[in-house]
Structure formats: structure tokens, C-alpha cells
Chain A
Amino acid sequence: MGNENIFDRLFETASRRIAQRSSRRSLLARLGTVLVGAAVLPTLPVDRSGRFRKAHAQGFAEQAQTADDTQCNYWRYCAMDGYLCSCCNGGVTSCPPGSEPSPTSWIGSCLNPDDGQVYLIAYRDCCGKGVCGQCPCLSTEGEMPVYRPQLSNDIDWCFGARSMVYHCTGAGIVGKA
């Protein structure tokens, strides 16, 4: 899958960076090319749709709409996990007052039913406040255990934020798939 390969490449880059400055280089060297989690890569988008993009998009797209971003079936939320920032006085690309956007994100590929195009969506958590609690949209379609972190929704993705306390999630377009 294309996105997986992108992800793997990003992780390989991260692995090399870790190896370069790790005091346990010998261990990492022995492990060779095995996937190592990304260390401090604040702008690394993490692909949480992966190979299930198609299945997820197909299932989601049938009921997706483009009018109301406070509903779980808003088209950009095809790989959404969490509380909608749009319901918390934030927006699809803005955090609610007092919270901070995480510099890390995971990625989905969502079909816009208006133009029929598939867009890359970066899901960013807003952090540093307790759980917003409004509009939970927790999908398990394509969701994997935490040993496949890029596809797991059991992980707090506020990596790189000043506080990793999770508040809500938004969904910004970062390109065309």
C-alpha cells in the first residue's frame, strides 16, 4: 500500500536518526532494519488509515456529508478517533480556547462527496486541557492494536505538545491522495 510505504520510509528515517545518537547503538545495529518508532519528529504525520483506507472510505463515504462538521459522518472524519473539536468551540482546523494543537498527527484519506476527490487529512489532537467530552466519534474500522501504532486509536497522540493531556481532535486537509 502506498501510504504504508510512505510511513515505512518515514520510520526508517527516524530509525536512522535514533541510531545515530543512541548510546545503545550496538543493539540497534544488531536489530538492523527493524522498524523503530519515530523519536522526536514533531511534524511527522502518522498514517492511521494504512491499507484499510479503501475499506474504511467505502464504508464511511456511503453516509458522508459536507455540510455539518459537528457530525461524525462529516466527510473529513473518515478516520476520526476522539471528540470533535468542532463541538468544543474549536473547528476542523482550530483548537478550542486554551488548548494547543499537537505537532504530531495521524493521516486518513477521505473522499469528498461533492467533488469526488480523495484528500489526505491530518488528524491533530488539541492538547493541554482535559477531555472536551462533546461529540465522541470513535471508529474502530481499520483500527489495530497498539503494536501497530500508526493504526491504533488507543494511543494519546499529543506527542510534542507541552502537555499530553488530550482535549479533542480536528481534521485538516494536507493534500490530495
Chain B
Amino acid sequence: MAQRRGLLSAASGMVLAVLVPGQTVVAQQTIEALPEEARLEVVEEWGVNVLPEASPRWVYVLDVAFDNLIASRINIYDSDTGRFLGVVHSGFVPNLLLAPDKSELYVDETYYSRGTQGDRIDVLSIYDAKTLERTGEVILPEGRALLVSKLPAAALSPDGRFVLSYNMAPATSVSLVDIEARKYVGEIESPGCALVYPTGERSFSMLCPDGSLVDIAYDESGGAEVFQNEPFFDSETDPVFSHGAIDIAGGRGFFVSYDGVLYEIGIENGRTALADQWSILSAADAEEGWRPGGWQLLDYQPALRRVFVLMHKGPKWSHKWPGEEVWVLDPDRNERVARFALEEPAISLMLTRESEPVLLTLTDTGTLGVLDPATGEQKRRIEGTGLTPFLLHAYAE
């Protein structure tokens, strides 16, 4: 920076910032006022790069930046090469949503007008997926739940038309946003249940304090019908992690409990029902202290028909400890088919949404692992994906 240097805007050609060695003052002068030798002789064209259509191998790493929560970010990497592709800066405990047609991405986020103070602004920010430019927004007038970022805190309808944003004030509801109309539709009241799990084009479920799912069908004007179900797990003694996985097309969803019970939910016409449950721990596993744990700790890959879970050895209430291993489960035969020891313990995992997926793992220090889901072999390691990144996202194929 000590060198004579000017950043010249070729388009305007009017203003030049000059950094003088030994001085901290930055002066602005018109180019014409500068001595001839201070002007750049060659004016190169400057452009702005644009991304191609997103690959299902691109991974969007959501960094909540725990020590500076009001300034989070979403870092984008190509998991095939490890290359950094871009960033979207975001606000307080955001959630990311990726449009099914790959045209846009949405950030459900909160700001204060003076950083940490001032007027609160809850907003769904709209970005072009290729330019990463902020192209629009929809204000959420009733706010949103301020949770440490979780996947099920917000969701898109499968067709991408509506955003469902979980709200807690602390009464719980779901804010409905019409993406097509760029409009907030209204609140869908919840009977004290939490988070949003889409189950169909215009339906979703929420997890309730009593261990049940409530099924909610909604229409384009925000009208809703609520259907309650019996509890399917014991929320007092062995709760399920909120990071489950729902395969709407396959009509099945999965949740795992702190003590390692895998629950399969059947989904039909927006209604849910317990379809199966089994312990993923053998007596020997339980004896050794194996437990599920982490943050985004479970995924189901429909093309493989396999559930992947992060597992660690630890005492009761160690449910946020990072996973030392990934266990691969066959939910059709209720058996474990593989277990992979990870090179570094991971808090989150996901399978890419394609016919030949890769397994992505994330450590709490921001190292992204790219693994073969059949063998567990780590094919790539990408460091520095965030300060405290928590969540992984990718577009479907």
C-alpha cells in the first residue's frame, strides 16, 4: 500500500483515492487535478464475475459467527475442487433457503437499524443465485424465532412458491411469505409447536412439546387447517433431535432420539403417522456409550435409501458433542450397514441431492470434509469455511 496507487473507476473517471506514504489522510481529487504522472496510463476493463448455474456439488456453509452474532455469512464452495465461489453476508441467526429452480437463494434474517440496537428488522432477503446480488426482500412484520440457526427454522414449499418461517415471540406461529408475489401473507398459528417440516406442496408439520407432530395444511391466502396426532416419542425421557430429514417425494421422514432410537414417519397427503421405530444401538454399542450427537447430525439420501448419523461415545446429555463416526443405516431393513471413523469429529453432515451423492462433513472449526458415502474415504478437505459454521446446504440436482 506504500506505493503510489490509484483505484480508477473507468466508468466514471471522475474521482480517485490517493494513499500517500507516511500519511493517514485519504484525499479525494478529480483525476484532472492530479499531476500527469499520478494517472494510470492503461485503463483496464473491470467486470464482475457471475456464477454459472449452481452444481449440486456446491456447498453453502452457513457461519453463525458465534462471537459476532449480528454479522454472519454464507460461504460457497465447490466441493469437487475446494474452490471458494462467493459469499452472502447475513444478519442475526439467519436461515438459508435454496430455490428448487436454482434461480435464487433466500436468507431469513434479523437486523437492528443501529447494529446491536435500534429498530428490529426481520426480513427475508432475496438473492440471485448467479450474481449473488440482493434483488429484493420481504419484511416479516411479526418477526421470526431467534434461534441459533437450524435447518427446520425455515423452509420452502416444494414448488418454491412459499416460504415458511418459524416464529416465536415466545408464542409460536409460522410466517407465510409468497415468493412469487414478493409478499408477506400472514401468520399461521401453532398450538405451541416448533419448527417447520414441509410434508407436501401446501402442508407442513411441527414438533410439539408432548412428542407429537402437528400436521398443518395451508392455502395461498394463509388459511390453515390443523391436525393433531398422538405423541410418537417420549419428550420427557428421550427427545428426538430437531434436525431430522424429510423425503416428501418418498413419503417418509426420519428423526433420531438422544438415546439412539430412529423413528420413521410415513407421510401421505400432508398427514404424518409413525411408520417404524428401532434402536440403532446394539447392546454392545450402548455398552460402549455410543450416541447420536452434533448439530445437523442426520440426513436421509433417497437415491441411496440410507440414513446417515453422526455418532460419538459419551455420557447422557452429550447430545451436542461432535461425531467421531458416521453410521450408515438401512431404514428398509432396520440395520446398520456401515460405520466410518472420521479424520476429525464433525458437528454437521449432509448428502448432496443427486443420484451419485457425496457425503459432506463439517467440524466446529470450519473444516469441510468431502467423503465417499459408500466407503467413508475422505476425498477432499477444505479448511477455513467459517469462524463457527453450523449448517450445510446444497441445491438438488
Contacts and interface: CB of A to CB of B under 8 A. Distances in A.
B68 A131 contact: yes
B189 A22 contact: yes
B93 A35 contact: no
Interface stretch (A69-77, A115-123, A139-147, A169-177): A139-147
Given A35-B192, A37-B192, A147-B195, A166 B147 contact: no
B29 interface: no
Given A145-B240, A155-B146, A166-B69, A36 B120 contact: no
B69 A130 contact: yes
Contacts of A131: 66-69
B105 to A, nearest CB: 23
Contacts of B148: 154
Given A147-B207, A156-B93, A165 B192 contact: no
A37 B70 CA distance: 26
Nearest to A34: B191
Contacts of A165: 69-70, 92, 112, 116-117
A164 interface: yes
A138 to B, nearest CB: 8
Contacts of A166: 69
Interface residues of A, number: 43
A16 interface: no
A153 to B, nearest CB: 9
Contacts of B193: 147
Contacts of A91: none
Interface string B91-107: 01100000000000000
Nearest to A133: B67
Given A131-B68, A145-B240, A147-B194, A38 B92 contact: no
A39 B171 contact: yes
Given A27-B224, A28-B189, A148-B209, A163 B116 contact: yes
Size band of the interface chain B makes with A: 35 or more
Nearest to A100: B117
Contacts, number: 123
Contacts of A164: 92, 110, 120, 146
Interface stretch (B3-11, B16-24, B157-165, B315-323): B315-323
A155 B168 contact: yes
Question: DSSP majority for the A interface?
Answer: loop
B67 A27 contact: no
Interface string B234-271: 01100111100000000000000000000000000000
B176 to A, nearest CB: 13
A90 interface: no
Given A140-B319, A156-B147, A36 B191 contact: yes
19 contacts: A28-B191, A30-B226, A34-B192, A34-B208, A35-B192, A37-B170, A39-B171, A104-B170, A133-B67, A145-B207, A145-B240, A145-B241, A147-B207, A147-B208, A147-B235, A148-B239, A158-B146, A163-B116, A165-B112
Given A147-B193, A165-B92, 15 more contacts: A37-B169, A39-B171, A51-B236, A130-B70, A130-B116, A144-B235, A146-B150, A148-B235, A149-B194, A156-B146, A164-B110, A164-B120, A165-B69, A165-B112, A165-B116
